[in-house]
Amino acid sequence: MKKKILVRTLIILSCALIFTGLAAAQEIPIDEVTKITVEGNDYVSDFEILNAVKTEVGDQTDQNELRSDLQNVFSLGYFSDVNIAFENYQGGLNVIFEVVENPVLKGIEISGNQPIYERDKIIEMLDLNLETVLNVKKMNKNLKKIQEKMQDDGYILARYKDVNVSDEGILKIEISPGYLYSVGVSGNTKTDSKVVLREMPIEAGEVININKIQKGFQNLSRLGYFKNINPKLQRVDGPENSAKLNIDLEEGKTGNLQFGGGYSSNDGWIGFVDVSEKNLFGNGQNIGFKWQFGDTTTYSLNFYEPYLWDSLYSFGFSVYDRETVRTTSTDSSGDLDYLKKSKGGSISLGHPLPNDWRTSLRYRLEDKEEIWDESSDDDKYQEGDLIDGSDKDLQSLTLSFSRDTSNNRFHPTSGSINNLSIEEAGGFLGGDMEFTKYNLDSRRYYHGFKDHAWALRMKLGLSDPRNQSGGLGSEEYDLGGSDSLRGYEQSDFDSNEHDNNNLLLFNVEYRVPFNDSFTGVIFTDAGNVWEDQDKIKLDDLKLGYGLGMRMNTPVGQLRLDYGWDEDSEGMLHFSIGNTF
């Protein structure tokens, strides 16, 4: 018996030397393997351990193969130590894998001043079972996945401060998420720092998330106040695992005096004067006055406060007086021009919603009338006469939901802009017009070849008119012209036979910038208007297509489009600003 123990002890020592690479191969007893056993395992089955061993009964002992078996057993993850011993057995050797099991997992504790994820979420990602031997391999693999997820989710400073297992089987994980020590603003000579900081969805003391910082950068870019925005994140020597954010700015021009003129196929000869300031006194308020004259004459004054009294509510108002020349087809006298007049104003109140959505409620009060601008041959329609039934008072409430994730306010190449609104007129609000309108305007932008861009829009308008005439009157949908269906005039869709109560419009543009001033456009439009909703059909859409040019000028972007209709008849469109 003593001999057996002595032999076993010498073989264990020799094996230890082998696996440190310091023993010669001849020190291992070269003999047939007659048995393979496991010792030291109370929870992990012999079957699971031996399944990782490639050496089989009947093999000759082999140094490399035994080293591989030892590594395979250890790689199972259940053991803190693994050794190999040998015993003489039935004329050969019993190869014994001696293992020391990890503690049985009794509990998991997650600590950190402010864990990035809820405890239950981390436990789920760890995927470790209680009352079983801790599998360190699986634990390390899943801890790495959690670390990668934290990085992917924007927590760029997050790391494990400590991971250990107590003798009682309690796994303790301490996460250091990384905190924002401070936020500073520099370079702003006009804009108040609070205007900048309120656009950042992260404050000092919060866990650093690079996605929030990037979102703030996009918010600041959309304001259009600055030429350059350079956010810098630097580690600090203060609290452990923290950094400070400094937003370095270069102010841009925010006040504009624009004037110009030209010819629009929709509105004839036009001129305009536009005075605006989008960062009034550096407080982030927007005010503007516009005068447009020609076939369409408009006076308008607008004001917008995005953070009313430093709250999350926005406030805006507008007053306007608009007069437009339109053409209609009468029963007996051919085409006649008439003046479409409207004057009034609106006030609105808005508030942000989750996931970048925003809602607003607008009250509109407007006085409308239509007057003949020329006389008919039979004296039935006389210049200056009010068109019967056109003098109406409109009072409405509009509930809107909007979301803007485009990457650039003026030249977007990615993201989307969505607007959904419901307008209720008449009823308890009073006024002469009663209807409900549902409007959806959805725009999507994609990168094209190199710096090119795709721009897509779908516009849907549905209504429920409750006037005696069964139509919307002056509130009916317009279609045709430079801002909707190019290749057609707006009057192409005016009809005495039906009211334009419903609209469906699709626009597709492929935009090719030549330089900072000029952009070429290839476009296709499709749309139509209907009186009844059940008559809306895709195969009833009118098609327009063509080419265009955009020119950036000190007075804004000028648009020149040439479109063809379904009959291949061409039409030139001139306007100001992006189509969508």
What is the Cα–Cα distance from 580 to 551, expressed in whole angstroms? 15
The two three-digit tokens of residue 353, written as one number: 């919603």
Please state the φ and ψ torsions of residue 53, each to the nearest 5 degrees: -95, 130
The two three-digit tokens of residue 456, written as one number: 């897509």
Q: Mean of the pLDDT values across residues 108-114?
A: 83
- The band of 455, judged by pLDDT with boundaries at 50, 70 and 90, is very high
Tens of pLDDT, residues 45-95 = 999 999 999 999 999 999 899 999 999 999 999 999 999 999 999 999 999
Q: Give the residue from 291, 314, 293, 311 showing the smallest Cα distance to 303.
A: 314
The residues, any chain, with a CB within 8 Å of residue 144's CB and separated by 6 or more, are none
In the chain the first and final C-alpha atoms are separated, in Å, by: 94
For the chain, give the percent of residues with pLDDT over 90: 64
Q: At 67, which helix (H) or strand (E)?
A: helix 63-74
The two three-digit tokens of residue 185, written as one number: 């603003």
The two three-digit tokens of residue 171, written as one number: 């796994």
What is the Cα–Cα distance from 172 to 160, expressed in whole angstroms? 11
C-beta neighbour count of 55 within 10 angstroms: 19
- The band of 398, judged by pLDDT with boundaries at 50, 70 and 90, is very high
The two three-digit tokens of residue 414, written as one number: 């990615």
What is the Cα–Cα distance from 94 to 92, expressed in whole angstroms? 7
Q: Are 81 and 59 in contact (CB under 8 A)?
A: no
The two three-digit tokens of residue 560, written as one number: 């020149």
Is residue 279 predicted with pLDDT exceeding 80?
A: yes
The residues, any chain, with a CB within 8 Å of residue 13's CB and separated by 6 or more, are none
Residue 2 has a pLDDT of 31
Please state the φ and ψ torsions of residue 218, each to the nearest 5 degrees: -65, -40
Strand partners, 299: 291, 321
The helix/strand/coil state of 426 is coil
**What DSSP line would sit under 70-139, residue for residue?**
HHHHHTTS-EEEEEEEEEEETTEEEEEEEEEEPPB--EEEEE-SS-SS-HHHHHHHHT--TTSB--HHHH
Angle between helices 2-18 and 63-74 (to 10 degrees): 80
The position carrying tokens 């456009």 is 521
Residue 463 has a pLDDT of 95
- Whether 255-576 and 179-251 are alike in CATH topology: the answer is no
Residue 517 has a pLDDT of 86
Is residue 332 predicted with pLDDT exceeding 80?
A: no
Give me the amino acid identity at 388. Answer: D
pTM: 0.72
Share of the chain residues as helix, strand and coil, in percent rounded to the nearest 5: 15, 50, 35
What is the Cα–Cα distance from 339 to 184, expressed in whole angstroms? 55
For all residues of the chain together, what is the average pLDDT? 86
- The band of 539, judged by pLDDT with boundaries at 50, 70 and 90, is very high
Residue 329 has a pLDDT of 53
The two three-digit tokens of residue 400, written as one number: 């809107």
What is the Cα–Cα distance from 514 to 112, expressed in whole angstroms? 53
Architecture of domain 179-251: Roll (3.10)
Is residue 7 predicted with pLDDT exceeding 50?
A: no
Phi-psi region of 487 (alpha: psi -120 to 50; beta: other; left: phi over 0): left
- In what side-by-side order are the strands of the sheet with 226-235? 179-186, 242-251, 226-235
The helix/strand/coil state of 203 is coil
Tens of pLDDT, residues 140-150 = 999 999 999 99
Residue 24 has a pLDDT of 34
Strands 242-251 and 179-186: parallel
DSSP 207: B
The two three-digit tokens of residue 383, written as one number: 């210049």
Strand partners, 568: none
Distances (CA, A) of 414 to 66, 152, 154, 353, 449: 58, 21, 20, 22, 13
C-beta neighbour count of 391 within 10 angstroms: 14
Measure the CA angle with vertex 465, ends 459 and 471; round to 5°: 90
Phi-psi region of 145 (alpha: psi -120 to 50; beta: other; left: phi over 0): alpha
Residue 23 has a pLDDT of 35
- 243-252, 472-481, 567-576 — most confident range: 243-252
Architecture of domain 2-101: Roll (3.10)
Residue 558 has a pLDDT of 82
Q: Give the residue from 164, 209, 495, 191 showing the smallest Cα distance to 328.
A: 495
Is residue 551 predicted with pLDDT exceeding 60?
A: yes
Domain at 107-176, CATH homologous superfamily: membrane protein fhac (3.10.20.310)
Tens of pLDDT, residues 122-166 = 999 999 999 999 999 999 999 999 999 999 999 999 999 899 999
Strand partners, 401: 359, 420
Of 224-238, 363-377, 406-420, give the lowest mean pLDDT range. 363-377
Of 26-40, 200-214, 434-448, give the lowest mean pLDDT range. 26-40
Q: Mean of the pLDDT values across residues 213-242?
A: 89
- The band of 379, judged by pLDDT with boundaries at 50, 70 and 90, is low
What is the Cα–Cα distance from 240 to 176, expressed in whole angstroms? 9
Q: Mean of the pLDDT values across residues 115-123?
A: 88
The two three-digit tokens of residue 20, written as one number: 């440190």
Q: Where are the domains of the chain?
A: 2-101, 107-176, 179-251, 255-576
- Diameter over CA atoms, the chain: 135
Q: Mean of the pLDDT values across residues 295-313?
A: 92
For the domain covering 255-576, report its CATH number. Answer: 2.40.160.50
Of 213-222, 278-287, 454-463, 466-475, give the lowest mean pLDDT range. 466-475
